[in-house]
Amino acid sequence: MSNQTIFIIMGITMAAMVVIGIAYYILAKKMQKSEYKRIQKLQQGTKSEKYSSEVIYQKLYLTYSKIPFLKKYVLKLRRRLEILNIDDEYVTRRDTAKIITKALVILLPLVMITIFLTKSNFLLMFILLMFELFMIDILIEGSVDKKDDSLLVQQIDFFSEIRHAYHEFNMVEEAIYQVSQDDEKEVSRQGEKIYEILISDDPETELEKYYDVAPNNFLKEFAGLSYLTKEFGDRKVDGASLYLKNVDNITQEMQIEILKRDKLNYVFRSLSLISIAPVLLLEPLKNWAVSNFSFVKNWYYGKSGMIVQILILIITFVSYILVRKLKDNGSTNINTKNTQNPWQEKVYKNKFVKKIVDLFLPKDGTKEYKRIQDLLKEVASPLKIEWIYVNRIGIAIITFFASLFIFMYLHQVSIEYQYTEPTTSYNLIGGMTAKDEAKAIEVTKIHNIFLDMFRGKLDTEVKDIEKALTRSKYYKDADSQEIKENAEKIYEKLKIVNSEYMQWFEFLLAFVFMIIGYMAQIWILRFQSKMRQLEMEDEVMQFQTIILMLMRIERVNVEIILEWLERYSNIFKGQITRCVNNYEAGAWEALEELKNEISYMPLIRIVESMQAAVEKIPIKDAFDELDSEREYYRDKRKESNERLISKKGLIGKVIGFAPMVCLFVGYLIIPLVFIGLTSMSDSFNAMSSSKF
């Protein structure tokens, strides 16, 4: 090909590229001005990559929902997230899958580490794995709590924007609608729901439904306040809108609650981990002690060490539960357990089980029945008494058989140790070389033959073993002294092996543990009740805030105030509910009965003011002191929360550190000191006797 032809081809190619470039530029200009650009903008944000995280989480949700074990956690988690997300199925599924995935990412490595560390101790492995399955429930609860706290923080800005919108529109429903247009915030969904309630045909009924599913009391208060303002109108108090003043009161309450939660989270942030840590340190600590102090090997691998291990596991389990109960007590979280038809109800419907449970169930009207019923009310438990007794009997039966299994396992551990322990006269304070250990293991194998020969023969004596050793091929060249020493060692092992069987006192202990298991749930309920009593002052101060919001609204009476207090009460819910139910029969008498049922003086003063408002003076005059001393009560509320957090923190530290103290004192220091001193004493005695 000539140079001229090459230049022609290159020229044509360059010209074609220029033409294509010009055509692309002209076409792009036209597309920018055409309808195409608008369609392109509309499509932005609607397309999703094939493997985007959103799509993956939706697919994971469907997968988790089909797995039998995870399905329970998915359904439980959904109930909490449905409340936060208000009918948004896509977001609910996405958040559910996110939290479950996070829990599995933490749990699966932990399970593998546990199996690796406890592969030689199947009992400890089983208990730890069960314990970690319990932990996944706590991880899920904690993740939802974070979303709940995030919603509470968003409400601060939401209510601030409500103020500006209300000034602009001067209509409650329009202000809420305007502020709720931000779809990216969870609180906007709540605002849209409240707006739909206010413009519905039957807002009262819809409002009652919302009260049952609202994520926290502050949104309930805001919804109820907005409804009252829409129905009865707003008014000016000291030149300012009463509605906006009440919104400010709710905002201040939220700020106090956020600070309280933040401080509680800070105080309890590490306690849960500290209370769990001992169960993960049992095996590493045992291996370290045995490798550095060989004289404690017999204790750690024997029955005594196993008993201390089990006790530490039980203490850890109880401490962990109490720490969680202590931190979560008084929370505004919604109870998402299935209270309509739980497994206890299904079990109780069985005729045979019902007959057994009814034998233990106290009769209606008895002192015991009323005591348990009052205890359930004090802790605001959704459980029925029948379900409580199903739990108690079930825990008692499981505890009894678990105790028997553990006793049998301990016997087996002790027997197994006699068959595997290297047999030597080596000084326990020292260590053994690999050669010495191999010889000791060989001696143990020979001893095991004679152990099997005499095992179960309780009348065996040392001379019987000596005769067997003399006739055996293993000791045909041994002298009488060597035969005597080995016979005595075999006899000591034989006594231990023959004594390791279930004895009467172990059945008695299992029965005692069964009683403890039977009482455990009642003790936990009492613990919750004691902890909730610390929150009495906080709840009464919330009542004062609610009364401050209602007292100046037109047409509000004592009955409406009682209904609001019942709706937001927790500790005093049972007493206030009875008062509301009896109110129609006689207002004064119902309030007098309420006053007699409670012993907390600040609440008694509120009830006395209600009695005055029923017959003598207007509501705003009856509670005038609350308005005049508002700043004092607010400061007192903050100081009360500080004391509450301080008390809970102190109790939590005592409970949370108890397993760690038991681990280092009971499982490390005491065995090392006691066995070390005993071994040294035996060694000195042996040395002294050898001199003479």
pLDDT (tens digit per residue) in 172-215:
888 888 888 876 677 888 888 888 888 888 888 888 888 888 88
Which phi and psi angles does 220 have, rounded to 5°?
-60, -50
Could you tell me if 635 and 644 are in contact, meaning their C-beta atoms sit under 8 angstroms apart? Answer: no
Q: What are all long-range contacts of 262-268, with beta carbons under 8 Å and residues at least 24 apart?
A: 263/641, 263/645, 264/327, 264/645, 264/648, 267/645, 267/648, 267/649, 267/652, 268/323, 268/326, 268/327, 268/648, 268/649, 268/652
pLDDT in tens, 629-683: 667 777 777 787 788 788 888 888 888 888 888 888 888 888 888 877 776 766 6
Q: Within 13 A of 574's CA, how many CA atoms are on the CB side? A: 14
Least confident range from 9-23, 142-156, 518-532: namely 9-23
Could you tell me if 73 and 137 are in contact, meaning their C-beta atoms sit under 8 angstroms apart? Answer: yes
More confident call, 587 vs 381: 587
Q: CA dihedral in degrees (679, 682, 683, 686; nearest 10)?
A: -160
Residue 241, strand partner residues: 236
Q: How far apart are the first and last CA of the chain?
A: 118
pLDDT in tens, 137-181: 677 777 777 888 888 888 888 888 888 888 888 888 888 888 888
By 3-state DSSP, what share of the chain in percent is helix, strand and coil, each rounded to 5?
80, 0, 20
Q: How far is the C-alpha of 578 from the C-alpha of 590, rounded, in Å? A: 8
pLDDT at 13: 57
pLDDT in tens, 113-132: 878 877 776 767 777 777 77
Element of type H or E holding 147: helix 122-169
User: Mean of the pLDDT values across residues 515-525?
Assistant: 88
Could you tell me if 303 and 413 are in contact, meaning their C-beta atoms sit under 8 angstroms apart? Answer: yes
pTM above 0.75, yes or no: no
Alpha-carbon distances, residue 49 vs 45, 55, 96 (angstroms): 11, 8, 21
Could you tell me if 236 and 242 are in contact, meaning their C-beta atoms sit under 8 angstroms apart? Answer: yes
Q: What is the mean pLDDT of the chain?
A: 78
More confident call, 48 vs 670: 670
Could you tell me if 294 and 428 are in contact, meaning their C-beta atoms sit under 8 angstroms apart? Answer: yes
User: Mean of the pLDDT values across residues 542-549?
Assistant: 84
Whether 36 shows a pLDDT value over 50: the answer reads: no
Could you tell me if 78 and 96 are in contact, meaning their C-beta atoms sit under 8 angstroms apart? Answer: yes
Element of type H or E holding 240: strand 240-241
User: Mean of the pLDDT values across residues 321-335?
Assistant: 61
- Neighbour-count burial of 38, counting CB atoms closer than 10 A to its CB (0-12 exposed, 13-18 middle, 19+ buried): exposed
More confident call, 340 vs 152: 152
More confident call, 679 vs 504: 504
